[in-house]
Amino acid sequence: MAINKVDSQALDSILETMVHTVGESKSEIFEIEEQCRKDFESFTEELTEIRGKVSFIINEGDALETKARLARKRLSEVSMNFKQFSEEQVRDAYERAHKLQIDLQMNRQLEKQLRDRRDDLERRLKTLKQTIDRAEHLATQISVVLNYLTSDLRQVGEALEDAQRRQEFGLKVIQAQEEERKKLSREIHDGPAQMLANVMMRSDLIERVYRERGAQEALGEIRNLKLMVRNALYEVRRIIYDLRPMALDDLGLIPTLKKYLLTTEEYNDGIQLTFANLGEEKRLPSEMEVALFRLIQEAVQNGLKHASPKLIQVKLSMTEDFVTVVVKDDGKGFDSTQKKEGSFGLMGMKERVELLDGEITIESNPGAGTMVYIQVPFKQ
């Protein structure tokens, strides 16, 4: 099939217009998302305050109810024995009962207003959360399109005949990159950043506890603070490992795996991770070591996150022709015959293995654990 020549200048002009339009749309979505986040934080603070007020008003109302009941009882006694009390005592009993009744009515009205405001804030927060999630998803999709417009599509020309294949592959790679960036951003925000913010708050609390309750309770808070810092350190190390373990280039696959599994075991109490090298111990090509490490890391993390195991076994064997990996856990397992929607991790593992011209098999049954079997050909 013949391919007509395309005016490159006209195509560049069209691309510039598309890039500009898409870029503006992304900026607008970002502004909407940021405004929603600000509103979300503001409403969250107000909701916390409102809940505290509701609790206070309820307690105050219960106290007023008790006082009003006693005042009515007193008024009833005065009314039944009118001649035994002075005019001032009668007036005082009536006015006290009347005032408490009004205070109680005002309290109930205020409680209703606060409850209505609380319910309204909860509905707004739910709507804002949905809007933020939709904006994040849309921004990711626009980033994919924008990156594609500013990169792969500029290489058109003589290669237009395979544009469809380039589009499918390019979109897939860029989307994977965007997902990884978003995942890393969320991990840093929800992990170390959040923990460090809590550390700052906890340090202020320690000073107050020391002043108000003494050194013993302050020491207890310091121990909690130490645990939080330890967890934050683990998260930072885990993220560094996710990016690229430095020992992989210097020491090779097997020593890096041993260190990774030992560190992971230290920070997962009650879970044992074992490693066995059943073949030769030799260096592999760099890209092969990275791919195998990522595959093992993904399999281990999947087990930790989803299987609730007590034991994870990693076995590796190198021969002249193949590298074989087995990752097995004794967790709750799953039905491997059922296709899981959004299982991006498993799909990524299969794609990595395919790039190495290898094979991957995942065997699992509910209650019987999971085994990941990987075999790739050894290439110098």
**DSSP string for 200-239:** HHHHHHHHHHHHHH-HHHHHHHHHHHHHHHHHHHHHHHHH
- CB-based burial of residue 150 (10 Å sphere; 0-12 exposed, 13-18 middle, 19+ buried)? middle
For the question of whether the overall pTM of this predicted structure is more than 0.75, the answer is no
Task: Show the CA angle centred on residue 73, arms to residues 69 and 74, nearest 5°.
Answer: 115
Give the pairing type, strands 272-277 and 370-377.
unpaired
Q: What is the third-level CATH fold of 246-377?
A: Heat Shock Protein 90 (3.30.565)
Domain coordinates of the chain in residue numbers? 8-156, 246-377
Instruction: Return all residues near 69 (Cβ < 8 A) that are at least 6 apart.
Output: none
The CA radius of gyration of the chain, in Å to the nearest whole number, is 33
Is the domain spanning 8-156 CATH 3.30.379.10? The answer is no
Helix (H, G, I), strand (E, B) or coil at 37: helix
pLDDT in tens, the chain (380 residues): 334 444 555 666 666 777 677 777 777 777 887 888 888 888 888 888 888 888 888 898 888 888 888 888 877 877 777 677 777 877 787 888 888 888 888 988 988 998 898 898 888 888 888 888 887 777 777 777 666 666 655 555 444 445 455 555 455 655 655 666 666 666 666 666 677 777 777 777 777 777 777 788 778 778 887 787 777 777 776 666 566 666 677 788 888 899 889 988 888 888 999 999 987 788 888 888 888 998 998 899 888 888 889 999 999 998 888 899 999 999 888 877 776 554 556 777 888 888 888 999 999 888 889 999 999 998 66
Reading phi first (left if > 0) and then psi (alpha if -120 to 50, else beta), residue 360 is in beta
